[in-house]
Structure 1
Amino acid sequence: MTHAIETRLTELGHTLPEAPAPAANYVPFVRCGDTLYVSGQISQRPDGLITGKLGESMSAEEGAEAAQYCALSLLAQAKAALGGDLSRLKRVVKLVGFVNSTPDFIDQPKVVNGASDLFGEVMGTAGAHARSAVSAASLPMGVAVEIEAIFEIE
């Protein structure tokens, strides 16, 4: 049976990807009691990485779309961590977003809103969260955005 989160994603025209494999020496998630920590997920579409630097080769709107893809990967990792059962996902506690941007780019919050908005649209009040949105001089493989998450789970 499809869970409400996946149903809502479909209604919004999104497809949940397979959980991406780690790109280095780390695990994609750690469960600790009723908390799930998901490692940073980089911006990637099904056809490849979303690369670029905000304030140079990308607009804030393009960055927000990249952040939305990070959120989809975060949900995919949560699904994998919960044995395929997203009904055990109670709420988003915190997001930390890293934006590959020029020194004078100041719209990191608008970029990370792409992920925050998706969680709100998909999970309602359970998608509301604490958050940081920071600039990075560069990110792995030249991606535009990387976001990590902390979830409350059952």
Structure 2
Amino acid sequence: MNLEQRLNELSINLPASSAPGAKYATGVVHQGLAWISGQLPREGERVLVAGKLGREVSIEAGQEGARAAFIRALAALRDTVGDLRGVDRILRLNVYVNCTEDFSQQSAVADGASALIYQIFGAEKGAHARTSVGVAQLPRNACVELDIVVALDA
């Protein structure tokens, strides 16, 4: 599968990734795995979906935020490894949901990113391990932040 071609077919344009704001790497490659740091649902410096799930952000808007953050993670992956030709599959997805303490549908929010992974990679290579947790706050009041672990072709 040519990942860049598949993204083109789905009309997904990867944004330019930005350098981290502190002393850490956007991504690290080690022994055939790429670990991509947390990504927010941003366009440039603007957070696309801000606020708390269970208060001012709907599950559907949270899912769109998760989708946008995953697209940024793919852009960070591209910039970490040089291009997307060597990407085999997403192994792990961690989704952090900015939510009220009584909100319990973090998994439904994470489904926005998981559904996109399946759409891009297909059922066989789209299967991934996942954790979704609620948190009290995220940077820039983003509704979600996510990170990924990716298998690269040998």
TM-score under structure 2 length normalisation: 0.91
Q: Which runs of 4+ in 1 moved over 4 A?
A: none
1:38 aligned residue: 36
Matched residues in 1 for 2:22 and 2:145: separation?
Answer: 14
1:79 aligned residue: 78
Alpha carbons of structure 1 residues 47 and 41: separation in structure 2 relative to 1, 3 Å:
closer
Matched residues in 1 for 2:95 and 2:75: separation?
Answer: 17
Matched residues in 2 for 1:114 and 1:58: separation?
Answer: 14
Matched residues in 1 for 2:105 and 2:18: separation?
Answer: 27
Aligned pairs (5 A) from 1:75-154: 75-84=74-83, 86-124=84-122, 125-154=124-153
Q: Post-superposition shift, 1:19?
A: 1.7
What amino acid maps onto 2:71 in structure 1?
A: L
Q: Post-superposition shift, 1:48?
A: 1.6
Tell me how large the CA RMSD over aligned residues is: 1.5
Q: Percent identity?
A: 35
SS where residue 23 of structure 2 aligns? coil
1:10 aligned residue: 8
Matched residues in 2 for 1:128 and 1:19: separation?
Answer: 25
Q: Which has the higher mean CA deviation after the structures are superposed, 58-67 or 44-53?
A: 44-53
Residues 97 and 146 in structure 1, CA contact (< 8 A), matched pair in contact too: yes
Residues 44 and 70 in structure 1, CA contact (< 8 A), matched pair in contact too: yes
Matched residues in 2 for 1:100 and 1:57: separation?
Answer: 11
Q: Post-superposition shift, 1:12?
A: 2.4
Residues 34 and 149 in structure 2, CA contact (< 8 A), matched pair in contact too: yes
Q: Post-superposition shift, 1:126?
A: 1.6
Question: Structure 2: which 5+ runs fail to align?
Answer: none
Aligned residues: 151
